Amino acid sequence: TLNLIADETMRCAGIVNGLLEFARQTSSQTVPTDINDVVDRTVLLLEKQATVRNIRIERIPDRSLPPIEVDKNKIQQVFSNLAINACEAMPTGGTLVVASRMSRDGTHIEVTFTDTGVGISKENIPRLFDPFFTTKSFGTGLGLAVSYGIIRQRGGTILVRSEVGKGTVFTVRIPLADPGEEKRIEEEPQ
């Protein structure tokens, strides 16, 4: 029973840390960033683990994208969460395609994470970004909630499209203009 108590204590500590991360709205350390560099770093960190699980990661970068002002660490956390979730959705292996592109209207950079996994049921999609919601038997259900909060803080959004048994596409949309910058400009006296 001591092992059980120790395990539960560690689990609770993980939940508390996740809650603190979710609740903490720290100011971002934004720098001009090539979003493809963040994608490359994220994929590099996951490639070995993915290969062991019989998952192939393919990158389709648009190398002509302009740099955007983001907090690199926070954006990498979002990309890591989405890539890890995609890998976990492919228990028998598969393919994860990570692509970057300019939005059709030219106002956002989009990064898509497309997996060939188990998919998400229609009734679960609206709850995906709720804190503590999870369909897994492990984890806290905070990864997507935190990711969504980070992207919303930057003025963007995360879109989901899924088909059970065929796979899921998560699209991260980040505006080229930092909404924080626009606000500061608007607030200056004329």
65-85 pLDDT, tens digit each:
999 999 999 999 999 999 999
**187 falls in which pLDDT band (50, 70, 90)?**
very low
Cite the DSSP H helix spans in 53-136.
72-88
The model's pTM: 0.79
Diameter of the chain measured on Cα atoms: 68
**pLDDT confidence of residue 153:** 87
- Inform me whether the pLDDT recorded for 185 exceeds 90: no
Cα–Cα dist 161/167, whole Å:
9
Cα–Cα dist 172/82, whole Å:
10
- Inform me whether the pLDDT recorded for 125 exceeds 70: yes
- Inform me whether the pLDDT recorded for 147 exceeds 80: yes
**87 falls in which pLDDT band (50, 70, 90)?**
very high
Q: Do the beta carbons of residue 42 and residue 154 sit within 8 Å?
A: no
The alpha carbon of residue 125 and the mean position of all alpha carbons in its chain are separated, in whole angstroms, by: 15
Cα–Cα distances in angstroms (integers) from residue 48 to residues 42, 51, 83, 94, in the given order: 12, 5, 13, 14
Q: Do the beta carbons of residue 115 and residue 167 sit within 8 Å?
A: yes
Mean pLDDT, residues 135-140 taken together: 61
Residue 68: beta bridge partners? 33
Q: Is 96 left (phi over 0), alpha (psi -120 to 50) or beta?
A: beta
| Report for 13-17, 18-22, 89-93, 146-150: range of highest mean pLDDT | 89-93
Question: For residues 84-108, b (16+ Cβ closer than 10 Å) or e, as one string?
Answer: bbbbbbbeeebbbbbbbbeeeeeeb
**93 falls in which pLDDT band (50, 70, 90)?**
very high
Q: Which of 137, 162, 65, 164 shows the shortest CA–CA distance to 106?
A: 65
Please give the radius of gyration of the chain, using alpha carbons only, rounded to the nearest integer.
18
Q: Do the beta carbons of residue 98 and residue 58 sit within 8 Å?
A: yes
Residue 101: beta bridge partners? 110
**144 falls in which pLDDT band (50, 70, 90)?**
confident
